[in-house]
Chain A
Amino acid sequence: MMKTKLLAVALLALAAVFAGGARAEAAITMDIFPEARLHEPPALQNGARLFANYCLNCHSANLMRWNRLRDIGLDDRQISDFLIFGNQKVGDTMSIALRPGDAKAWLGKTPPDLSVIARARTSTEYRGTDYLYTLLRGFYRDLGTPTGWNNSAYPTIAMPHVFWQRQGPREATFTRIVHHENEKTHTAQVVREVTVIDADGNAKVTESSVFGDPPESVEVSFKPADPKRAAQFDSDVADLVAFLTFMSEPTAAGRVRMGVWVLLFLTLLAGFTWWLNRAYWKDVK
C-alpha cells in the first residue's frame, strides 16, 4: 500500500512538474546586480557587516567559517570584535542559536541556511545574484500577510522586511496584463490592471482595456518617500549580495587567479608536444 502511495506521490510530483510552466503567473524581470562589487573589498566588508547584523540569527551560514573573512581583508580581531556577537571563536562556523523546529513554529518556515544561497538561487532564467538583489529590494507593505509584508520577486514570502528602516517607506505599483477567461464563451478578455499599494499597504486597483493581444506580464515599480535613503539602501543591498556571493564560493577568486597560470602552462605544453609530434612524424612516409 505504502509503495503504491509513494509511487502515486512521485507521479503527482512529476505531473505537477509537467503542468508547472504553463500555469504559473508571469514573473517579474530581475534587476541586474552590479558585478563590480564582487571585486571591491570595502563593498564585501560592508556586506559582511550587514549580514552579521541583519541576516545571521534567523538565517545561519553553517558551512562558512568566520576566519574565511580574512579573504576579504579583515583580521581576526576585527572579526571577533565587530562581527561575532556571541561567544564563538573565529575558527567556528557561522551557526545560530535558533533551532529549526522553533523557527518553523514561530515563522511558519525554517529560514534557509545562506552559505551557498547565491549559487542555489541561480536558474536557467536568471543569475542568483540578480535574484537576491531584486528580492531584497522588492518588499512592499501588504495588509493581507501575517508579517504585513510581501515581495515582488517572491510573492507571499514568509520573511518580513528586516531592512525597512534602512529603505524607508515606499509606494509600489504593479502593472499587469491579464487574460480574463470567460468560462461560457471560452474567449479571453485582455485587460491592463494597475495596482497601486501605498506605504501603509492600502491597495487601489484600476482596470483598463488593451488593444491587441499582448501576452500576460507583470511589471513593478516603486516610488520611495525618501529617494536618497532608498538609493543608499540599493547600494547596501549590492554590497550584501556581493558578500553572499563571496560566501557561496570563498575560493572563487583564487580559482580564477590560479587558472590563468595553469592555462598558460598548458598552452606552452601544447606547443611543445605539437613540435614533438611533428618531429617524430616527419620521416613517416
Chain B
Amino acid sequence: MALHKSEYQGLLGWVDARMPTLMAEYKKHLSEYYAPKNFNIWYVFGGLAITALAIQIVTGIFLVMHYKPDARFAFESVEYIMRDVPGGWFIRYMHSTGASALFICVYLHMFRALLYGSYRKPRELIWLFGCLIFLCLMAEAFFGYLLPWGQMSYWGAQVIVNLFGAIPLIGPDLAIWIRGDYVIGDATLNRFFSFHVIAIPLLLLGLVVAHIIALHDVGSNNPDGVEIKDTLGADGKPLDGIAFHPYYTVHDIFWLSVFLIVFFAIVFFAPEMGGYFLEYNNFIPADPLQGPTHIAPVWYFTPYYSILRATTDVFMYALAAFTMAYAVLLVFTFRATPARVASFAIGLALVLFMIVPGLKLDPKVWGVVLMGASVLIFFGLPWLDCAPVKSMRFRPAAHLALLLAFVIVFLVLGAFGTMPPEDSRNVMCQVLTLLYLGFFLLMPWWSRIGTFKPVPARITFRPH
C-alpha cells in the first residue's frame, strides 16, 4: 500500500506519511482550531481545570507508590509520606490543595457557562458531558477523602453511605453492599481506593476527551454569544476567530503562571487553608467507636450538605406547598390536556409521599432526593433557559441580578454547611434551598421576561 503523501520534511514527514492522523488532529484541535478573539478571563478556567486534573493524576501516581490501602496502616502511611518519603509532603500537599483547586476552577468554569449561555444550542452535549464530569469529580473527591483514614474521612463516609440506607425497601441492604461490611471498614477502604485510583479517573478522562471533542466540533462560545462560524472570510475561516495555538496557548500559559502562584502559595504557606482544605479532625486516626462532635464535609460539598440538613420534618410542609404550587403553575402553562393531567398527578403524588401520614417517607429520604436534585438539575439548564439570546451582555439587568443572587445563595449555603447546625441558620438554609431550586425551576418563565438588547452580527473586540 502506498504511503500518504506528506507535506512535511524529515522525521515529521516520515511519521506523517505513516500516521497522518497525528498532524491532522494537531491542526484540528490546536493550530487550526479557531477560537473567538474576544475571550476574557472567565475563559481560562477550563484550561486551568485540566491542569489541576493533571496535577492530581501525576501526584496521585506518586502517592500510590507509598500509600497503603489497609485500615491498619492507611493513616500511618500518609504520615509516612509526610515525614519519611523524600519530598512526600510536597506531593501530598499538592494533591490535597489540588482537589480544592480543581473544584474552584470547575465552579468558576460553570459560572462562566451560566453568564454567557454556553450551554445553549448547539452546545447542549458539551454541557451534558461537563455535568457528568462534575458528578465524577464529586465521586472522585468523596472516595479519595476516605483514604487518609482520619476521623473526618471515616465519619464523613459513614454519614454519606448511610444516606443510601434511607432509600425505602432496598436502602439498608444497599448501604451494606456499598460498604462491603456493616460499618465502614477495611473492605470499604479497599474498594474506595480502587474507585478513586482506577474506575473514576478512567471515566473522568474519557468524559474530558468527549467534552473537548464536542466543543471543537461546534466551536467555542464567547462573551457576546455570537456564532463566529456565521461570518466566514474568503479562506473559509471565521473572521472573528484566531488560531488556538499559538494565540490562546500563550494567553493560557500566562494565566496558568498566575494560577500556580496562588496554588503554590497555599501549598507552601497554608496547606491546611485554615481547616478548609485539610480538616483538623483528620489528623486524628479513624475511631469507629467515637465520632467527632461536628461532622462537616470539605468546603466544595457544603452547599449540598446544607440542603441535606435543611430537609427536616417541618420543612416538608414548605416543600409540599412549593411542589403543589409548581404543579399548578405547570397545569396553567401547558396547553395539552395529557401534560396538564400528568403534571398535576405527579405533583400530587410527590406531596402525598411528603406529608400524608402513613404514606410519607422519612424526611431524610427527601433530603437525599433534594441534594441529588440540586446537583442533577444542572443537566436541565439548556432546556430550562428560554431566553432569546445567550449572553448576559444582551439580557435584561434583572437576569444578571438573579444569577448573582443564585451565586450568593450557593455561597451562603456553602458557608452554613461548614458550621455546626443551629436553629435560626437551619431556617435560613431552608429558605435558601427553595431559592436554589426556584432559580432553576422557574427559569422557563423568568428567562423570557424583560427587554433584550439586539445581538450584533460580529463580536466586540478591542485590540490589545
A residues with a Cβ closer than 8 A to B are 2-4, 6-7, 10-11, 13-14, 17-18, 20-22, 62-65, 68, 112-113, 115-116, 119-124, 128, 248-251, 255-256, 258-260, 262-263, 266-267, 269-270, 273-274, 276-278, 280-282, 284-285
Contact = CB atoms under 8 A, between A and B. Distances in A.
Contacts, number: 136
A251 B84 contact: no
11 contacts: A2-B182, A10-B159, A22-B422, A63-B80, A122-B272, A249-B82, A256-B268, A266-B261, A274-B254, A277-B251, A281-B250
Given A259-B265, A284-B464, A285-B463, A18 B246 contact: no
B359 interface: no
B76 A63 contact: yes
Nearest to B79: A63
A141 B155 CA distance: 36
Contact of A270 (B165, B166, B258): B258
Contacts of A277: 250-251, 253-254
Contacts of A266: 257, 260-261, 264
A10 to B, nearest CB: 5
Contacts of A4: 172
B165 A17 contact: no
Nearest to A7: B165
B257 A273 contact: yes
A255 B88 CA distance: 11
A122 B275 contact: yes
B264 A259 contact: yes
A278 B253 CA distance: 12
Nearest to B251: A277
A276 B280 contact: no
B80 A124 contact: no
* 5 nearest CB pairs, A to B: A259-B268, A3-B172, A120-B283, A270-B257, A273-B254
Interface in B370-429: 420-422
A258 B87 CA distance: 11
Contacts of A10: 158-159, 162
Contacts of A116: 79, 283
B459 interface: no
A123 B281 CA distance: 8
Contacts of A270: 254, 257-258, 261
B150 to A, nearest CB: 9
B197 interface: no
B419 to A, nearest CB: 8
A17 B267 contact: no
A267 B261 contact: yes
Most buried by B among A7, A17, A112: A17
Interface stretch (B50-58, B123-131, B291-299): B291-299
Contact of A21 (B89, B250, B420, B463): B420
Nearest to B258: A270
B83 A276 contact: no
B270 to A, nearest CB: 10
Most buried by B among A3, A65, A282: A3
B280 A284 contact: no
A63 B83 contact: yes
A10 B154 CA distance: 12
B238 to A, nearest CB: 14
B272 to A, nearest CB: 8
B31 to A, nearest CB: 14
